[in-house]
Structures are given as structure tokens and as C-alpha cells.
Structure 1
Amino acid sequence: MDEVTAAAAAAAGAALLPTSREERAAWLDALAAALEDDRAGLVALAAEETHLSQARLDGEVTRTAAQLRFFAGVAREGGYLEATLDSPDPSLIPPRPDLRRMLRPLGPVAVYTSSNFPFAFSVLGNDTASALAAGCPVIVKAHPGHPQLSRRTAELALSVLPAGWFALVEGMTAGVALVQHPAVRAAGFTGSERGGRALFDLAASRPDPIPFYGELGSVNPVVVTRAAARERAAGIGAGLVGSFTRDAGQYCTKPGLVFVPAGEGVDDAVRDALGSAPASRQLTDGMSAAYASAVELFGTDEEVTVLLGTSEPGTSTPAVALVGAADFLAARDAFLEEHFGPITVLVSYREDELPALLATLRPSLTATIHRGTGEDVTALATWLAPIAGRLLFDGWPTGVAIGWAQHHGGSWPATTASIHTSVGATAIRRWLTPIAYQDAPQEVLPPELRDGNPLGIPRRES
């Protein structure tokens, strides 16, 4: 029996054993504590494999533990179940019986980890935390960018969770087999558009298709208004450089396409800030090569000016591609593609050109507006809201807070499932499916649906 089949069989068995929300919450709390207890060793190993700084990685451990505890709280609160009770009403046409509805776990799920967040979106990251909270055993496909860290983190998970509730598999063959295994009922993925689309197609082509929740490519457009540029061009330029070069530009929320008003000095401020932006190492050799190709591609276009920051041997030099609105529109496909790493595209516009520029945008995880003091940007927000999962004002999209109201998603190509999120409390919804009980006896009903609300969860009753 291969590792995928063995893991799936164990997970299928575990899924048949009933667990309470409190039990699962306790597991998540214990996982958070185990992660923090091994913080020093995990951070040292992650720094060796990913080239990210120890300070950044230490903060990511803190975030990951917070995510685990957050979903423990979501499980305990119980509102995520969407428990709904309709009382019988024989006067209606047709007559309404006693109906009670809630969400239940799908069963074993696959989680494909990301390269750029070796803790927060990896083995014990957001997908794993939300799936366990929902009551779904998890089989994790480790990322090849940090294999030793993945194995060590998996050991922590196995030391806390009951048998069958967690497994780790490695390699491309295992990753393909995992999404196709009949015991797997859903899959979550964070990574490239190309890789995610391949797995999405496999999930859809199964004899029994399953949901595939992929977080993929995103350019995260930013629009700077003329009023904003006149007020604070220097601050906007410095903020942009700090955002797109943060941790080697390896964020899915990196601002990769920025529209700035012509002649207001934002491009000059970016040029100044870029001079002190550090060179950095990408997570893998393949990412380094792809980044170098992107910079070279822009450099061969006569209509594009490429600004370069600090250069060091063996590292990626931060870069900004400057282009005018007309030239952007003439070669839009190249500029609308996501380029991983410390690079962004700066498009200079006049107000009459902005509608045509915005009309080219594809959906992204985020969109951002920088506005002047008291400036009404309702019209601009109306343009951008339909293509963004999260609309920001006067800030930068790198960094995704953990909260009940958070949404980290969007339409294709940002994700494969626009109605869902991979961060925030409703990330748990991906691993659940509804069931309705009609005229069921009390002893058959889950406690969450019984008369008197014995568990005290939020419910809608009519």
C-alpha cells in the first residue's frame, strides 16, 4: 500500500469516529502550544531552507499559533454550523414539516502547502487549522522548498492528534495521487496559477468530482489619485517599495501593478526609495530564474524603463518597470501577469486614460486606493470592487490579518472558488456541507439541533 492510500484509508477511518467541537478545539490549542515550544528549532531549520530572516520566521510562528487558537475559538463558538430550525406549519402550501439544518464535515481533505509561508500556509497553517476545526482529517502534501521543516512540523502534529487525523506525503507523484484518491473529499492549495489549475482539472475530472480551493495568481492593483500624490508622493513611493520588496517580494498580496498620476513625483519617490531597498534571495533556484526572466523581459521593451535597486552576487535585485498608459495598453498581457519576487509595474496615467486602464484588470486578491484628504473616491471604488476580494484604502495589501471579517479570495485567476476565503473564520466553510433533518426524533438529531439548544450555539429559529 503506497503512502497516499495508507494515509487516505486512515483518514477515512478517523472521519467515521464522532468528535465534539470542544475536542477539536483542544487539539488546536495543543498544536499551537507544541509549535511555540519548538519555536527555536523550527525557526533555525526554516531559515536554513528558505533564506528568510529569523525575525520574519519567528513572527510567522507566532501568527501560525494564533491561527490555530483562532480556529479553536471558531469551533467552540459554533456559529459556523449555520444551525437553522423551522417549526412545522400545516397552514402553508405546501405544509411545512419540522426542518432543521446545519453544516457537517465533508470528510478527509488534502492540503497543498505554499513555499512563501513555511509556517502560516504550510503543514499546520490556515488550511489545516480550519479543516481540523471543521472535523475533517487532513493529509498534507509538503512543499519541496522546505522538506525538513515540513517533516519536523508533521512530527509535532502526529504527537498531538489522534491516529488517522493527520498525515504528510511528499513528491509530485503523491500530490497528483492525493487529489484523485476516492477517500479525499476536498482539497486546498496555495501556489502558482499553473500548478493550481493542473490540480483543479484533476479534481474536476474524477469520476466523483470534488471541490478544489486554490489560491493562485494575483497582481493586486493599486491606484494613486492625483490628490493623494500631491499630498504625500514621498510617503507613497517609500511605502510601495517597502511593500513589494518585503521578504523578497514573495507575497501573494504584493502590489504588482500601480497606477500613478503623471507628473506628480511618485515615480521619483519610488526611484529614491529603491536605491536603499536590499537585494534578496528567492526561496528556490527555480523562483530565482523566473524572477530574472521577468526583469529581462521588461528590459528588452524599448517603451519600458527598468529601475534597479541594490545588486549583490547570488541575489535578486529589486526592480520597477516604468511604462506609460498607451504602451501599457499596447502590451497589456505582459504587464497583467503576476511576477513573483521584488518587482512591480508602475503605470503613469492622465485622468482620461484611467478608465481604459482599469478596464484591463483581471480579478485579484486585493485592490488598493490611495486618496487625498477628504477626497470622494466612490466612483473609483465602484470600478475596483468587482475585481477584488479585499478593497483597501491608503495602505498596502501585504499582510493579511486574522479575523472574523477577513476575506482572502477573489474570482479566477485569484482563486478557483470566488465565494470562499483561505483566511478568516469563514475559511472553515470550505470543508463543510449542509444536511437537513425532516421530522427527526430528538435522539437522532445532533446536539446542536435539539430542542432547547443544549449546547448554547448561535441558531436561527422560526
Structure 2
Amino acid sequence: MSSAYLIGAQRRTGAASFTGIEAATGKALDGDFAITTADDIAQACALAGAAFDAYRETTPEARAAFLDAIAAALEARAEAIVARAMLESGLPQGRLNGELGRTTGQLRLFAKVLREGDWAGAIIEPALPERQPLPRPDLRARQIAVGPVAVFGASNFPLAFSVAGGDTASALAAGCPVVVKAHPAHPGTSLLAGEAIAEAVAACGLPEGVFSLIQGPGNDIGTALVANPHIKAVGFTGSRGGGLALIAVAASRLEPIPVYAEMSSINPVLLFPAALAARAEDLGRAYVGSLSLFAGQFCTNPGVVVALDSPDLDRFLGAASEALKGVAPQVMLTGGIAAAYARGIETLSGADGVAVLAAGPDGDAQCGAARLLAVDADDLLSNPALTHEVFGPSSLVIRCKDAEQIVAVLEGLEGQLTATLHIDEADYPLAAPLLPILERKVGRILANGWPTGVEVSRSMVHGGPFPATSDPRTTSVGAMAIHRFLRPVCYQALPDALLPDALKAGNPLGLPRRQFD
């Protein structure tokens, strides 16, 4: 008997199944997982549609309690979830324990956001019947949920960007039912997390269509999910090709819908002269630690470094090269990702003007070996493809002749999630003119750190211009992520009895409201 997927409160098993794969060996794990049928995908979406109006009008406190209940249910399954995720992802126990904590933490953050109430965007402009030359009617506005959301699990975060991750948490907080397409590399992890959410749905007395989990390899399941007319928005973290394919499906519907896709980023790091002069070796070692962390499988991995050519840059590269030679090969998330990384390194290292400065030891086919490469800005500017993402533990250092060439390199980059400045006070005059360029190119600018840590907070922006994301106005991490799944509605001259509670005269929900004369 194959393991079930979750269609609302119902556990279903299909005739076809697939197996989980152990990331470290490439071998099949015990247990089969049922592939969701087309009929069950349609039923999951229909249940979500049927649940929508009731769920979106639950009180903020009820939804907050639901998110808290999911977090508690995940923690009750922590040992089993982490054990299975270790097998399916190849990530170590400590990393996955931390990721589970991040997952429950962001669920509880959105519970706090709901209780604070600013997300509702309640605005009241009372009627001005005596205003000249025309009276003003009573006008009130609030944010409401957009509808059922399709969420796609990510390969590199089997917990925090997957079944119970940030897209699911923010959509549920907004009042949107969610249908999750589990990543096929994590079927067991996904089912355990999905069961935790289903348990919370039942415990909180919510409609069963608030959550469903569908499973299976290939593209057909995801395409059918996004094409279903009940689905009103999509959350996706993955490759540029995968994101663009879903965007095409969503745009071709009779009712096109938004796809909030986080896709591709190389996260430039700028090294400034005074900072290099003061601590080149320390920066080189820290850089290798960031680019190789967990086999470089982060969307914020520092994929390129930009700096003026100088003896201090040589010091940085010498320290980085020595550090990188000691980076052991690490298991990558899937065999496909490992193979794509190997192809990307082969293409990049064979390009004109690119030199391999250092290489970590090679491993087996499931592993990614660290690589440090360098190129002169002249060669890079004549071949922009050199800045395409290679997902894994590698990075390219770009040597620039002068400040004008740094500007040219930055202007030629695509949209990114992050940019990092390593600066001392003496570098401020050189750095200041670059900030407007970086603001146009990235979603987060940081100084004297490394981009591979993303705080889950109210001010965090984990987004950026295309192809970092499909909509640069949004973030997939932090409290502002809820706004992807809300839209404004204005109520003109409605009697108080017909207004939603968020806008009634007595403010029964106790929401913060902006009132204008």
C-alpha cells in the first residue's frame, strides 16, 4: 500500500506511485508515495474554493490560533520530520533542526502579525454631506484574501520554504486556503508536515478545504494545479525555468493570476579598497565559508565578487584559495542538482578569460566540489552569460580596472536578491555613487556581512527585480509576505449592518484603523 496524499481531510492513495531517494547515495528509500490523480487535484482545488469565503472571514485571532497550532503540531513531530529530511535532502541534523525552528518561528510571527492588525489596512473616510462643490460619501476600505493559493515546495529548504513554509504561512494568515505541491525530492518529509497542518485544521474546527497536499514527480501535476480556475495566486521557489513555466501557465488562463516566483540570483559582493587593505585574509576565509555553506545551495549564495584589481585583492584571493582547497565535497540536494552544478562549472571554467583559482576535492556523483574562479571585467562585459547562476559551492571574482568599470559591471547584472558591501569609512566616497544602482538591482543591501543569513522579521525583504523574483514589489520572507495574498476592497455608503467587522463603527475586531476627516 502506498502512502497517502491529503485531499482536504481525506487520505487518498492512487494506483501509481513513486519512491523517495536518499540524497547521499541516490538509492531508493523504503516506502512508496501515491501520485495524486487529476481528479483529486481538481477536488483539492474545489474544496479550497468552497472553504474560501468561510475561512477568509474567520477572525484574526482564530487564524492566529490556527498558525500557532500548526507550529505546535510540527514540533510534536520534530524527531520524525528531521530524520526523514536528513535522508531525503542530505542536509545535516543541526541545519534541519534550525530550519524547523525557523519554520515554526515564521508561523508564530504571522500569528503576531494577525493579532497586531495592521495587515488589514482598515481606512475610514466619513461622509461629508456639506462639502462643496460636491458632497463626499462614506468611504471605507480594507484588505481581503485573494483566494485559494497554490504553493510549490522548494528543493533547498525542505521545511522553511516547503509544505509549512513561508508561502503557506503567509497565505493562511491572509485568509487563503492552500493547496501545496510537495517537492518530489521530499515526499516523506512533506507528508509528515502536511499531516501536522491537517491536524491543526481539524483541531481548530476549520473547513477541510483550507489545506491539501498533492504529490508526484514531473510537471503535469503542477501545471494542472496552476491551471485550475479555483486557484487565484501561486507561491514558488525554484529554478528560473520552473518559475517561467508556471508564469506561462498562469498567464494563459482565461483568468490570469499572479505567480510570486523566487528564481535566480548571484548576489554580488563588493570589496572596497580600504576594507581589503585592513582585512583581506579574514575576508577571503569568511567568503569561502559563505559560498560553500551547505554546498552553496542557498538562493543568497555569494556567486560573484566585484573588486578593483590590486595587491590587496591578491591577498584576498590567496586566503580564499587556501581556504577553499580544504572544503570537502558535500552531498547536494538531488542527483539532478549535482549534475547541473557539474555542467555549470564545466561551462563557466571553459569560457574565455575565466581562470580556476582553486578547487576543493572532488567527490562522487552526488556531491558538489567547491570552485573559485576569476575573470577580468573586460572579458565579463563581453560575455554577460558568465553571470548566470551556477547553483552550488562556487563563485566568480571579477577584477575591475577602475570605478567606472565597477559601474559597468553592476549595470550589466540582472536583478538580484542581495548585494553586499565590505567597506570601511574611507570607502564611503567610492560606495555612495553605487547605492542608487544597487537599489535598482536588488531587494536587500547589506554591509560587512554575508548574504547567506536571512532574518525572518517585519522589515526583511527577500525579493528583487527579475529574475530574482517575478514581482519586485514583494518579499517571500518576513511579515510583508502576507501582502502578496491580499487585495483592497472599498465600501461606499454601505449601512453599518452590512459592513465587514473590520470596518463597522464599533470596531468589534479591535483593529488599528486610519481615519481621515
- For residues 402 and 396 of structure 1, what CA distance do their matches in structure 2 show? 16
TM-score between the two structures when normalised by the length of structure 2: 0.87
Identity %: 44
Unaligned runs of 5+ in 1: none
1:14 Cα offset (Å)? 1.0
Aligned with 2:292 (options 245, 269, 291)? 245
- Counterparts of 1:53-452 in structure 2, within 5 Å, are 53-90=92-129, 91-161=131-201, 162=206, 163-171=208-216, 172-263=219-310, 264=312, 265-306=315-356, 307-314=358-365, 315-333=367-385, 335-352=386-403, 353-376=405-428, 377-452=431-506
Instruction: Supply the distance in 1 between the matched residues of 2:222 and 2:300 (Cα, whole angstroms).
Output: 25
2:10 match: none
Name the SS for the 2:368 alignment partner: coil
Aligned partner of 1:3: which letter? D
Letter in 2 for 1:220: N
Shift of 1:178: 0.6
Aligned residue type for 2:210: W
Distance in 1 between the 2:278 and 2:134 partners? 63
1:304 deviates by 1.6
Whether contact under 8 Å (2:123, 2:141) holds in the other structure is: yes
Aligned to 1:31: 70
How far 1:383 moved relative to its partner?
Answer: 2.2
2:66 and 2:398 mapped to 1: Cα distance? 49
Q: Secondary structure at the match of 1:231?
A: helix
CA drift at 1:374: 5.0
Which residue is 2:90 aligned to? 51
Q: Cα distance 1:261–1:273, how it changes in 2: closer, same or farther (>3 A)? A: farther
**How far apart, in 2, do the equivalents of 1:43 and 1:75 lie?**
29
Q: Does the CA contact (< 8 Å) of 2:77 and 2:192 recur in 1?
A: no
Distance in 1 (CA, whole Å) between partners of 2:165 and 2:230 is 22
Which residue is equivalent to 1:5? 42
SS at match of 1:422: coil
Partner residue, 1:20: 59
Question: Do the aligned partners of residues 124 and 431 (structure 1) sit closer, same or farther apart at CA in structure 2, a change above 3 Å counting?
Answer: same
Q: Which amino acid aligns with 2:460?
A: Q
1:93 to partner: Cα distance: 4.4
Look up the equivalent residue of 1:275 and give its one-letter code: K
SS at match of 1:2: helix
Classify the secondary structure of the residue corresponding to 2:209. coil
Which secondary structure state, in structure 2, belongs to the residue aligned with residue 100 of structure 1?
strand
Deviations 1:247-284 (A, max 9, x none): 11110111111112212122112112112222111111
Cα pair distance change 1:385/1:98, threshold 3 Å: same
User: How far 1:285 sits from its partner (Å)?
Assistant: 0.9
* Deviation at residue 239 of structure 1 after TM alignment: 1.5
Instruction: Look up the equivalent residue of 2:221 and give its one-letter code.
Output: A
* Cα distance in 2, alignment partners of residues 320 and 410 from structure 1: 26
* CA distance in 2 between partners of 1:93 and 1:337 (Å): 59
CA distance in 1, matches of 2:325, 2:135: 73
CA contact (8 A) 1:104 1:435 kept: yes
SS in structure 1 of the partner of residue 269 of structure 2: strand
Deviations 1:134-181 (A, max 9, x none): 111000011011111111211111111131110011232221001010
Query: Equivalent residue for 2:13?
Result: none
